[in-house]
């Protein structure tokens, strides 16, 4: 049995578990790792996804459907809800915007209505996308409420809408929520599609001799998935309602440098790479102030970018049968 995995047999022996936790979107890239970590720590963790499985802790629920959401909370009581269910990414949000708004905005509103009634504590993943396209320098958590931020895509807008919905619910109903903003989580477990994150795209396409684009004026502070998940799992064990945390790495790295590292690991040159100066839909450089997450949640870097990229490339080779 893998760490964090439950069966019908050992489900009967859960009386000593810690918090009762629901993770919506618990089978996604982040959700899978988070569920395993929370279970490793002794919490009783349920997963909500919009399809059937035979897993005893799986609850079928499309968060965009209020009736399905309500049915879960009528039948189960949770101490915490990690609301990860969302449509992900800028390109995906532009091409499939109706699905994005149904899941991200309406789905979050449905969860908030249940929170207002059942009073569980909510932990919500926002995104560094809420810092928009016009902010520069080291970005603190307060920045989007201090400066008029220009949001360049529907995904970013949906995340900020959700944050505002959460803040309104806290003001009007006294709900308890912590928000956090990821920036460029990467690592094993992210299966390829055209709508995934940059490192996933670069690695897969380099391995398969496919073209990709690098924005040369862009820089990101990449954080390995294991380090990110450890920090996020700490939130329910050090919950401070109303807090918002940046969760990222401190080291800003140019996208061309990241691409060059991947090409070297794969053993190919850059003849299929197109270099473009700017991406108009995103912030040029995302350098986040992570002081609070370091202080309150034990955020730390245990895996360097070089080591993390090597692990990611090896996972892709194994997963897709590349020798």
Q: Over its length of 323 residues, how does the chain's per-residue pLDDT go in tens digits? A: 333 344 333 333 334 469 999 999 999 999 999 999 999 999 999 999 999 999 999 999 999 999 999 999 999 999 999 999 999 888 888 999 999 999 999 999 999 999 999 999 999 999 999 998 888 888 899 988 888 889 989 999 999 999 999 999 999 999 999 999 998 999 999 999 999 999 999 999 999 999 999 999 888 889 999 999 999 999 999 999 999 999 999 888 999 999 999 999 999 999 999 999 887 776 677 789 999 999 999 999 999 999 999 999 999 999 999 97
The pTM is what?
0.91
* 5 found inside a domain: no
Inside any domain, residue 3: no
Backbone angles phi, psi at 305, to 5 degrees: -60, -45
Structural domain contains residue 12: no
111 is a domain residue: yes
Is there a domain that residue 7 lies in? no
Q: What is the H or E stretch that residue 48 is in? A: strand 44-49
d(Cα 2, Cα 264) in Å, to the nearest integer? 33
Indicate the number of domains in the chain.
Answer: 1
Query: Domain of 96: which CATH number?
Result: 3.40.50.720
Residue 297 lies inside a defined structural domain of this protein: yes
Question: In terms of residue numbers, what domain contains 270?
Answer: 18-319
Q: Is residue 37 domain-resident?
A: yes
In a domain, 6, yes or no: no
Cα–Cα distances in Å, from 232 out to 42, 247, 299, 307?
15, 8, 9, 21
């Amino acid at each position: 049995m893998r760490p964090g995995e439950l069966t019908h047999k050992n489900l009967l022996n859960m009386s000593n578990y810690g918090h009762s936790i629901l993770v919506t979107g618990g089978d996604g890239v982040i959700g899978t790792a988070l569920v395993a970590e929370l279970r490793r720590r002794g919490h009783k963790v349920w997963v909500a996804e919009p399809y059937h499985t035979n897993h005893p802790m799986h609850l079928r629920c499309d968060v965009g459907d209020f009736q399905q959401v309500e049915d879960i909370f009528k039948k189960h009581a949770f101490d915490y809800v990690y609301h990860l269910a969302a449509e992900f990414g800028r390109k995906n949000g532009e091409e499939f915007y109706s699905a994005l708004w149904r899941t991200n905005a309406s789905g979050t509103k449905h969860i908030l209505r249940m929170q207002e009634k059942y009073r569980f504590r909510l932990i919500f993943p926002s995104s560094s996308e809420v810092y928009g396209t016009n902010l520069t320098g080291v970005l603190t958590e307060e920045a989007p409420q201090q400066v008029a931020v220009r949001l360049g895509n529907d995904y970013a807008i949906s995340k900020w809408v959700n944050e505002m919905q959460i803040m309104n619910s806290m003001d009007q109903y006294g709900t308890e929520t912590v928000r956090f903003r990821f920036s460029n989580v990467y690592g094993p477990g992210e299966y390829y599609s055209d709508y995934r994150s940059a490192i996933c795209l670069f690695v897969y396409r380099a391995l398969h001799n496919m073209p990709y684009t690098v924005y040369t004026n862009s820089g990101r502070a990449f954080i390995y998935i294991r380090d990110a998940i450890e920090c996020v799992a700490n939130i329910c064990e050090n919950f401070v309602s109303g807090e918002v945390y940046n969760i990222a790495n401190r080291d800003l790295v140019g996208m061309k440098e990241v691409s060059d590292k991947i090409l070297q690991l794969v053993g190919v040159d850059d003849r299929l790479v197109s270099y473009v100066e700017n991406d108009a839909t995103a912030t040029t450089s995302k350098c986040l102030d992570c002081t609070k997450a370091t202080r309150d949640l034990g955020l730390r870097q245990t895996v360097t970018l070089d080591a993390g990229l090597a692990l990611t490339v090896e996972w892709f080779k194994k997963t897709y049968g590349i020798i």
